[in-house]
Amino acid sequence: MHSLPLFHRIAGTRVVVVGDGDMAVAKRRLIRRAGGAVCSEAEAHHARLAFVALEDTGAAEAAALRLKRRGLLVNVADRPELCDFTTPSILDRNPVLVAVSTGGASAGLAKHIRLRLEAILPQSLGRLAAALHETRAALRARFPGGDERRRALDTALAQGGTLDPFDPASGERVTDWLSGAAVDDTAQTVEFTLTSDDPEDLTLRQARALGMADRVLHDPGVAEAILIRARADAVRQLLSAQPEPQTGLTVVLRRADHTAASSAVPTSAK
């Protein structure tokens, strides 16, 4: 990744904006939307973040250097090479935020990706997120184990599930779902043979399984671009001859050029 994606909480804190013009106005508006307070460079000692929105290249570089020397993280409009952080194109379904970034390569591209997402992500996402937040204590009481809790949510939030995020009525069903939810603790192993190192060649079923897997067992040489499609906290191990089924979903990834030498792995639920 070209950057580490983070969401920075600035409510109640000061953020420096250097500049006037349309770019500076847009930065001030963004800061206020996130609950921050706009301040000038003279108040930089109170701030941790700064935006520089100056048309003059030399003036922008000088302002960025001054602010960085004072320990601030700096964004310089239209100058990604000078930026400590960049601002993405933001889709707001409060409290759900979707940020699209191209690392400064093309703000226009990021905007149009966001506009496509705007058309398919319902306004009700915020209501669903708020309902899940409000029932966190009840969810933990109903499913004390972290893995158990995650599997219950995975089932409910999956396409066609009780809490499908694309269903506008999902937010109204959280309490009823929680009172009757059950977890499938059946161990399941699914195996895929990969014919390409390109993640774009994954089928929808393969991509969905990786996103829900508890464990990913793989042949040596399976591309990192494929492996990172799995959940960040999924256990990742090189493939043994006969993996032992465990609770939850295990995804086995074989390379086509290794398949002939590999032992068969059962694909049915255990």
Dihedral pair phi/psi, residue 37, rounded to 5°:
-115, 125
If one compares 89 and 158, the residue with the highest pLDDT of the two is: 89
From the number of C-beta atoms within 10 Å of its C-beta (0-12, 13-18, 19+), residue 10 rates as: middle
Tokens matching residue 83: 């930026």
Residues 6+ apart with CB under 8 A from 24: 17, 18, 51, 53
CATH number of this structure's domain 88-121: 3.30.160
Query: What is the model's pLDDT at position 181?
Result: 65
Distance CA 209, CA 190 (A): 8
Helix segments in the chain, DSSP class H: 21-33, 57-69, 107-120, 125-134, 136-142, 146-157, 174-180, 204-212, 224-227
Question: Measuring CA to CA, which residue among 29, 181, 175, 159 is closest to residue 90?
Answer: 29
Statement: residue 50 has pLDDT above 90: yes
Q: Domain 188-261 adopts which CATH fold?
A: Cobalt-precorrin-4 Transmethylase; domain 1 (3.40.1010)
Query: What is the model's pLDDT at position 133?
Result: 95
Give 267's pLDDT tier (boundaries 50, 70, 90): very low
Query: What is the model's pLDDT at position 234?
Result: 83
| For residues 227-248, average pLDDT | 76
Each residue's pLDDT tens digit, 51-93: 999 999 999 999 999 999 999 999 999 999 999 999 999 999 9
Statement: residue 123 has pLDDT above 70: yes
Each residue's pLDDT tens digit, 92-120: 999 999 999 998 888 899 999 999 999 88
Give 266's pLDDT tier (boundaries 50, 70, 90): very low
CATH 3.40.50.720 fits domain 1-87: yes
Summary mean pLDDT of the chain: 87
Task: Provide the percentage of residues in the chain whose pLDDT is more than 90.
Answer: 54
| For residues 229-250, average pLDDT | 75
Distance CA 155, CA 161 (A): 6
Domain boundaries, the chain: 1-87, 88-121, 125-180, 188-261
The answer to whether the beta carbons of residues 221 and 186 sit under 8 Å apart is: no
Whole-model pTM: value is 0.66
Statement: residue 209 has pLDDT above 90: no
Distance CA 90, CA 224 (A): 28
Distance CA 95, CA 154 (A): 20
Statement: residue 150 has pLDDT above 50: yes
